[in-house]
Amino acid sequence: MKQRLISAFVGIILLVAVLFFLDTVLFNIIMIIVSAMAIYELLVATKFINNIAVSILSFTFAILFPMLNYLDFLEINIIPAVMTVFVILLFVMMIIYFNKLRIEQIAFVYLIATTVPFAFSSFVFIRDNNPDHALFLVFLTLGMAWIPDTGGYFAGRQFGKHKLAEHISPKKTVEGLIGSYVFNIIFVLVIGNIYTAAATDITINYLYLVPISVFCTTFAVLGDLSASIIKRQYLIKDFGNIMPGHGGVLDRFDSVLFVAPFMLMILRVLEVV
């Protein structure tokens, strides 16, 4: 527990440092690094790291995606085009290594090599689409991904009796899940009021924000459980050990995988601030 708290404290300091560079290209580069580290952990866990060509292709996509916002023709939907090229190249790899790669392996590589970079790139796109409130919205997105885990942990320890998904994540409970929703709603109300107090000309639409927090809690838990399924099927405890007490990059950011893209989508439709 002590080790976990120390790692969390160090992580908060690093997060503040990263957010300090939010408005610069360095933020994009940091997203590339984190994305590549998560891809590496998944490739090692699944043993696909042994195929050099597939690994290089996956890392290339992870590096490229967070920089797409700097292309002048982003507005013509370059993202689907890039993903299509990636699919074609993966099939080329399967043709070349037809006796080593199976279609389900290629499908899994496509899944992880697109989901992970897009999740981290979503923070870049959220920043660029909402420059006036970028810091608040990026921090809000991270919070709504991480707070459910903290809330679920403490609520589960205190009240947990009924298992939520015993064969996937034995420690998760229904009571912990309820705690996740409650903690996340409290978080958005508190952070919303703090931001309003700091910027008096801001109006936050809580009729949107509170339901959004409920959806984000659901997606955070789904991201956590999805990562747990991969770990169970590949018989590993953690994706890495870069963060003592927390595991690897993906162990800490698994809840972000679905929350960040959802926030990007919803912020393009609704005006939260």
Burial class (CB in 10 A: 0-12, 13-18, 19+), 63: middle
Whether the CB-CB separation of 34 and 246 falls below 8 Å is answered with no
Give pLDDT, residue 260: 95
Give the lowest-confidence range in 29-38, 43-52, 146-155, 214-223. Answer: 43-52
- pLDDT reading at 8 higher than 80: no
Q: What is the enclosing helix (H) or strand (E) of 143?
A: helix 134-159
User: Do residues 250 and 41 make contact, with C-beta atoms less than 8 angstroms apart?
Assistant: yes
Please report where in the chains the tokens 């590496």 appear, as a residue. 40
Reference 147, options 236, 255, 48; nearest CA is 255
Q: According to the per-residue pLDDT averaged within each range, which of 157-171, 212-226, 245-259 is highest? A: 212-226
66 touches 35 (CB < 8 A): yes
Q: What is the pLDDT of residues 68-97, one digit of tens each?
A: 766 644 455 677 777 888 888 888 888 888
User: pTM for this one?
Assistant: 0.88
Tell me what the mean pLDDT of segment 46-72 comes to: 79
Provide the pLDDT for residue 73. 46
Contact 130/272 with Cβ under 8 angstroms? Answer: no
Residue 190, pLDDT score: 94
Classify 147 as helix, strand or coil: helix
Burial of residue 61 (CB within 10 Å: 0-12, 13-18, 19+) is: buried
pLDDT of 210 reads 93
Q: How far is CA 30 from CA 1, 17, 19, 123, 172, in A?
A: 28, 11, 10, 11, 31
- pLDDT-derived band at 2 (thresholds 50, 70, 90) equals low
- Whether the per-residue pLDDT at 140 is higher than 90: the answer is yes
